[in-house]
Amino acid sequence: MTILEKFDVTCDVICVGGGLAGLAAASRAAQLGLKAVVLERGGDELYACNSRYAGGVMHVSYNNPKSPPDVLTAAMTEISGGHADAALVNAIATQAGRAVEWLRDEGARFARAGDIGWRQWILAPLRPAVTQMEWKGRGADVALRTLEKNLRERGGILHRGTHVVDLIFENGCCAGVKARQADVEKVFCAPAIVLADGGFQGNAVMAGEYLTPDPQRVKQRGAGTGLGDGLRMARAAGAAVSTLDAFYGHVLSCDAMHNDRVWPYPQLDELAAAGLLVNRQGRRIADEGMGGVYLANLIARQPDPLGTFVVFDEAIWQGPGRAAAIPPNPTLLGAGGTLHKADTLDQLAALMGVDAHGLAATVREYNEALTSSATSTLQPPRSARRRTPFPFARAPFYGAPACSGLTYTMGGIRINGNAEVLRADGTVIRGLYAAGATTGGLEGGPAVGYVGGLIKALTFGLLAAEHAVRVQENLSKGI
């Protein structure tokens, strides 16, 4: 008797993880006539996951997902520095618009934020413009509840409190999973398994191996529930894996480590991108022009991830400092965040505990390079393509102790445009799919390219379900 002859549950599709990727895949599969089951480790009715906590913006590298495919392709290629896998780029470019329409048709509500092109598809009701996390009854949470309701009405099931621990193979195909429910092991059998349990941001061991020398000095900015189980199981099954050294996150006040009022907002991204990001020696550590996601990664990689500071002048504080939807000026101080202010650089260095000579030299070199349009010669270089550099000249001067806020990891399981899991030689592992933050190859790379967690989860969740349906239809026809 094989293990599959002792199964506890049999169905057509099993989705591991109840975030947007898993629920979209399951609901779409059920919509197309398959019996779908979602296995979610969280036991609460409103179990924690990054999809539920998200702000709800559906964008493709800061572009409207309904933009023409060539526009979306160019945006993803540019932001990733050419790192993104062409098949995955094509899948998002051609299917993202259809994906948001499908979600709308499923009952999710959307709102717009003015005329900003990439903020035309925001899950509603919108989250309030407050610094602390408020997600219950908001757009992303409501969308997940809607998908679960649709899944149940179509005969599908979501099992909470179910921890998937291993994949089961039969005749070379993935054919089921082993899971634990209240310490009881159960076997779930299906010809299609979709790994959609998020990244590994909540796994301190893996984060320490791939992202930062000190995970305890990086702020978990999301749910922190991604433990890398899907990645672990896929690797054991022979799956190829992308580089794992990048994540989506933002630059936060260092006070976020102990003050919940200053996270997930305000972000210090715009201040850092217009000003300077320095270490305790007063020296720059990164190209600030690459933006906040990139800078959050560079902060996490520092020997001391809590030893960096965003420094800027009055012009930046009154300009970019007020530009965001929840701007650091004035919300940082109102929420209890630390902001040092001084009339001279020496005074500012003393307040921050930063080497005064190093900071003075850094500001002098930076201003001279900016004046002579030679910022590319700085070490590190300072680009201007994405973010405009401001001179550091107008007193008073400011310094904000910073930390890295980690939301989800960007590296993971390699897939093709159908969300099928790939081996190192490019062949597919039959019956095994992956979607969302457990996958790699689209985001990350040296430029820490960011495409968008929600649109990636939604699009590849749909593609996985639709391919599984086609495979099973062909098998029933003997094709």
Q: What confidence tens digit (pLDDT) does each residue in 163-185 have?
A: 999 999 999 999 999 999 998 99
What ranges make up the beta strands (E) of 42-130?
109-111, 122-124
- pLDDT given at position 298: 98
Closest residue by Cα to residue 456 from 11, 126, 32, 54: 54
- pLDDT given at position 287: 97
What's the fold here for domain 248-406? Flavocytochrome C3; Chain A, domain 1 (3.90.700)
pTM: 0.96
Amino acid at 384: A
Q: Are 75 and 131 spatial neighbours (Cβ–Cβ below 8 Å)? A: no
CB-side exposure of 425: number of CA atoms within 13 Å?
3
- pLDDT given at position 1: 41
| Rounded Cα distance, 79 and 451, in Å | 8
Is pLDDT above 60 for 3? no
All structural domains of the chain with their residue ranges: 3-242+410-476, 248-406
Helices 20-31 and 453-476 cross at an angle (nearest 10°) of 30
Is pLDDT above 60 for 79? yes
Question: Is residue 130 left, alpha or beta, with left meaning phi > 0 and alpha meaning psi from -120 to 50?
Answer: beta
Helices 69-79 and 86-105 cross at an angle (nearest 10°) of 120
Is pLDDT above 50 for 466? yes
Q: What is the b/e burial string over 386-424, where b = at least 16 CB atoms within 10 angstroms of the residue's CB?
A: ebebbebeeeebbbbbbbbbbbbbbbbbbbbbbbbbbee
| Rounded Cα distance, 221 and 98, in Å | 30
Residue 252 forms beta bridges with which residues? 267, 403
CB-side exposure of 163: number of CA atoms within 13 Å?
13
- pLDDT given at position 477: 78
Question: Is residue 164 left, alpha or beta, with left meaning phi > 0 and alpha meaning psi from -120 to 50?
Answer: beta
Query: Cα separations (Å) of 135 from 48, 51, 337, 374?
Result: 11, 10, 22, 45
Confidence grade of residue 5 (pLDDT, cut at 50, 70, 90): low
| Rounded Cα distance, 403 and 300, in Å | 8
pLDDT digits (tens, 9 = 90+) for 47-64: 999 999 999 999 999 999
- pLDDT given at position 133: 84
Is pLDDT above 70 for 2? no
Q: How far apart are the first and last CA of the chain?
A: 28
Amino acid at 37: V
Query: Cα separations (Å) of 395 from 33, 226, 463?
Result: 66, 44, 54
Query: In terms of CATH architecture, what is 3-242+410-476?
Result: 3-Layer(bba) Sandwich (3.50)
Determine which helix (DSSP H) or strand (DSSP E) holds 177, and give its type and residue range.
Answer: strand 173-181
Of 92-96, 372-376, 451-455, 470-474, give the lowest mean pLDDT range. Answer: 470-474
